[in-house]
Amino acid sequence: MKPQSLLGALALLAVAAVPSLAQEPVKLGFITKFPVPFFATMENAAKEYAKRNPGVEIIYGQGASATDIEGQIAQIESMVTRGVQGIALTPVDPTVSTALDKAVAAGIKVVLMDNNIPDWKGRTALATTDNFAAGKIAGEYLKTVLKAGDTMGILEGVPGVPALDDRVKGMLEGLNGLDVKIVGKGATNCSEELGISVAEDLLTKNPDLKAIYAACGPPAAGAARAIKNAGTANDKIVLVGFDFCCGEEEALKSGVEDASVAQFPTKMAELGVDALVKAIRGEKVESLIDSGAALVTPENMAKFQ
């Protein structure tokens, strides 16, 4: 055999002896905020991803509520103890970054989903809806159905959580140019119970209220119940939600809710997990991955079910 042929054969043998990087198994942690359909959809999408990719093992965890900071920190610490190589999570609050710093220091990759942790430099990527742009979709819709001088109440999510704050800021940007008066707002912690309470307060204090905007799905459904309980006719108040989940489908069908901004949790989870797997395997990933959003109305809602 010629020397160059021998070298070529040895090179091929050497390559064959090295296992493919893309086929190396990886072990991930997947942590979502709390038990609502949106996060259940994300977890199911991660499970489907794992089924399609046999080399990917995923351990799942979830907090008890939208403000369960200690619970999420415990989940992160548990994932580190169980030897994961990466963590994909929807952070419940920026203060969980301390636990994530310890994970990163241990060599664990972190991909955030749904919302960011501002000024935290440890993430590999963020897979999310552009919540400001999505909120703007809601505001632009409201601008088409309201007129100057109309009054509006806002059901906030968890003040201080950037993604939820951006949904309100974006909505107001979408309304820009139309003189709508904000007569009240209140935090709901993204719960239906607080959505009912804040909406009832708004309706009681403002009998001529023309619109309610809810930054999360459960409080939007709560507002729909409050409107119905108050005996307010569907055409007297405009209700716009965000998430298209957790009772909003029924509210839209009944005509109490007029529109919602849908995210794509399946796509968000798939993109987040895929970015994490690629990062662990040494592949380049984009630092910001937008999973998109769209306006849902009674007329087009069948496409989003």
Phi, psi values for residue 61, rounded to 5°: -150, 155
Low-confidence ranges of the chain (pLDDT < 70): 1-23, 305
Residue ranges per domain, the chain?
26-129+264-292, 131-262
Please give the Cα distance from 295 to 259 (Å, whole number).
Answer: 7
pLDDT value of residue 66 = 85
pLDDT value of residue 164 = 92
Tell me if domain 26-129+264-292 and domain 131-262 are identical in fold. yes
Q: Give the Cα-Cα-Cα angle 17, 28, 81 (nearest 5 degrees).
A: 105
In this structure, CATH architecture of domain 131-262 = 3-Layer(aba) Sandwich (3.40)
Tally of CA atoms within 13 A in the half-sphere of 49 that contains its CB = 25
Please give the Cα distance from 183 to 213 (Å, whole number).
Answer: 12
Based on the number of CB atoms within 10 Å of its own CB, is 196 exposed (0-12), middle (13-18) or buried (19 or more)? buried
Categorise residue 300: left if φ over 0, alpha if ψ from -120 to 50, beta otherwise: alpha
pLDDT value of residue 115 = 87
CATH number of 26-129+264-292: 3.40.50.2300
Residue 34 is given by DSSP the state S
pLDDT value of residue 23 = 60
**Signed CA dihedral, 73, 76, 80, 81: sign only:** positive
Residue 90 is given by DSSP the state -
